[in-house]
Amino acid sequence: MVEHLKGFAGRLCEIRGEPCVRQVIRLGIQRAAQYGFTNRGPVRFFIELMFSFGCDFDTDPQYPWIQGTLRDPGLADQSLRAEELYSRWQTFMQHVAGPKKQYTLEALRRIDQAKLEDAQTLFGDFETRIITGLRKIHPQKTEYVGEPALRVLTAKGIETARGYGVTSELGAAVLVALMFGFGHGVTRDPLYPWVSSTLRDPLVKDPDGRAERLYTKAKIYAAHLLAYLEAEQKNV
C-alpha cells in the first residue's frame, strides 16, 4: 500500500514521509472496517479517498454522497458499495477537478494571486462573504457541493477557530478555506500537521497572530502545489 500511494499521491507521500503514510494506512484500515470494508480493493480505495479528501472524508458535510453510499442498506456487498462509491467519485472529479485537473489548477492560480484586500470587495454577512470568497476561488466545487453544505462547513470552521482562541475574521476565513480544500478534519489530520501546529504554536502568544501565520503558510503550500501540478501537466 505504501508503494501504491507513492504513485497515487506521490508529492504528498514525499512531503509527509513513510512513517506518516503508514500511520494513515493503519487509520484507513480501521476506519474502512467500520463500514464493512475488509477486502483489499475496497480498503485500498477507502485509503485513496483519505489522501484525496482528507482523513475524515467519511463525515465531511461537503460529501454527503460518500456517507450515503458507505451506509447504503441496499448495497450490502462491500464490493458493490466500493464500485458505487468509485463511480460517484469519478463524477465528482469530472465536475470539480475538470479535464486534466484544469479546474484545480485554475483555483490554485486564483489563490496564488489573491490578496487580503480582495475580501473588502465582498458583501453580506460574514458567512455569506466566506462562501462568496470560496465561490470566486473554486466555482465548480462550490456549485457541486451546494450552499447548504457550505454553510454547515463555514459554521464549523468559525466554531473551530474560536476553539483555538481565534476571533479575527481573517483567521476564521482561513480555517474554513483549509477545511474546504483539505477536509473538515484538517486541524487533526496527520497529513496536514502544519495546520494544528501553527494554531498551537507556543512562540506566538496571540491566537489571531497564529491565524495570520497560518494564512501565510497556506499560501506557500498552495504555491508549491500549483508548481508541482503544472510541472506534472508538462510531463504528461
* Boundaries of domain holding 194: 99-235
The 10s digit of each residue's pLDDT in 70-121 is 999 999 999 999 999 999 999 999 999 999 999 999 999 999 998 766 655 5
φ/ψ (deg, to 5) at 115 = -130, 155
Of the chain, the percentage scoring pLDDT greater than 70 comes to 96
Q: Residues of 11-21 as b/e, b for ≥16 C-beta within 10 angstroms?
A: ebbebbeeeeb
Residues 185, 209 within the same domain: yes
pTM of the model: 0.94
Domain termination residue (choose one: 96, 112, 147): 96
pLDDT of res. 99: 93
Domain termination residue (choose one: 96, 128, 157): 96
Domain termination residue (choose one: 81, 96, 111): 96
pLDDT of res. 122: 59
Residues 175, 197 within the same domain: yes
Q: What is the pLDDT averaged over residues 26-30?
A: 98
Residues 104, 92 within the same domain: no
Residues 113, 186 within the same domain: yes
Residues 104, 213 within the same domain: yes
C-alpha to C-alpha distance for 29 and 152, rounded to whole angstroms: 28
Q: How far is CA 91 from CA 20, 135, 168, 169, in A?
A: 29, 20, 37, 34
**Number of domains composing the chain:** 2
The 10s digit of each residue's pLDDT in 92-102 is 999 999 999 99
